[in-house]
Amino acid sequence: MPKHALSLDTAATRVKAKKTGKTAQRILQIATEMFAEKGFEGTIMDELCQRSGVNKASIYYHFGDKIRLYDSTLTHLFKRVADPVLQAVAQAETPLQKLRVFIEVFARNASQTHAMPAVLMREFASGGIHMPTPAREQMQRLLFALKIILSSGHQQGVFKQTDPLTTQFMIVGTLCFFISSEPMREAIPAEKKLDPTLDEIVIQLTRTIESALLSPTIENT
């Protein structure tokens, strides 16, 4: 009966992980890449062994089975993006600054951790059924933070009232599509110059959302 190294995160586990965690960490790293690239079913354990240089039974020793490996992967992945966003938002002062920081830090971290948009989009496509609760909670933490930003901005009279879910989908959706489309866009070198950079997307996205929040309502024609 193997005792799984990542089942708990107690002090004892962490001490042990320092010496033994190399293998588990490497598995997690390659698994993240593969799950993002190929999805759950598309990820083959034998290939994971080959790519990571880790023996198959070691993977099963550390993670139990494929689905638990997937769960660990996703939880780590989403936490790695959500944490810095929430931290940065907490440090910003005004709702407008918090909103800007939310978009910018999410964009930067999702772009660096580009497996995250891929995995998120796959999970949405599957109806989120296989999404582990801790991973889902990270997304809900982001949504909750955005809710606070928007409502406090509204209370202070600087923002118009908007639906936070729509706004989150605008931010997350736009950026996930942009980040994940990078390989496709790179494949067309002729238009490479015409494509916007991440910074440009962030600027336009921020401007767009801000303008809707700050400007008066547009009349229907």
Partner DNA sequence: AAATAGTTTAACTAATTGGTTAAAATAAGC
Partner DNA sequence: GCTTATTTTAACCAATTAGTTAAACTATTT
Of 173-212, which residues contact a copy of itself (CB under 8 A)?
173-178, 180-184, 187, 195-196, 200-201, 204-205, 207-212
**In angstroms, what is the minimal distance from the CB of 211 to DNA?**
47
204 makes contact, choosing from DNA, a copy of itself, none, with CB < 5 to 8 Å by partner type, with a copy of itself
Return the range that interacts with DNA (CB under 7 A); candidates 64-72, 100-108, 118-126, 165-173: 64-72
Beta carbons of 82 and 46 less than 8 angstroms apart: no
CB 69 within 8 A of CB 31: yes
**Which string of DSSP letters, residue by residue, matches 126-146?**
TTTTT--HHHHHHHHHHHHHH
Alpha carbons within 13 angstroms on the beta-carbon side of residue 132 total: 17
The C-alpha atoms of residue 131 and residue 119 are separated, in whole angstroms, by 10
Report how far residue 198's alpha carbon sits from residue 103's, in angstroms, rounded to the nearest whole number.
11
Scanning 65-73, 140-148, 166-174, 213-221 for contacts with DNA by CB under 7 A, the matching segment is 65-73
Q: What is the DSSP string of 30-47?
A: HHHHHHHHHHHHH--HHH
61 contact, one of DNA, a copy of itself, none, CB 5-8 Å limit per kind: DNA
CA–CA separation, 43 and 41 (whole Å)? 5
Binding site for a copy of itself (CB under 8 A): 36-42, 96-97, 117-119, 121-122, 124-129, 131, 162-163, 165-166, 169-170, 172-178, 180-184, 187, 195-196, 200-201, 204-205, 207-212, 214-215, 217-218, 221
Question: Given the rule CB under 7 A, which residues bind DNA?
Answer: 2-3, 5, 16, 19-20, 22-24, 43-47, 54-58, 60-62, 65-67
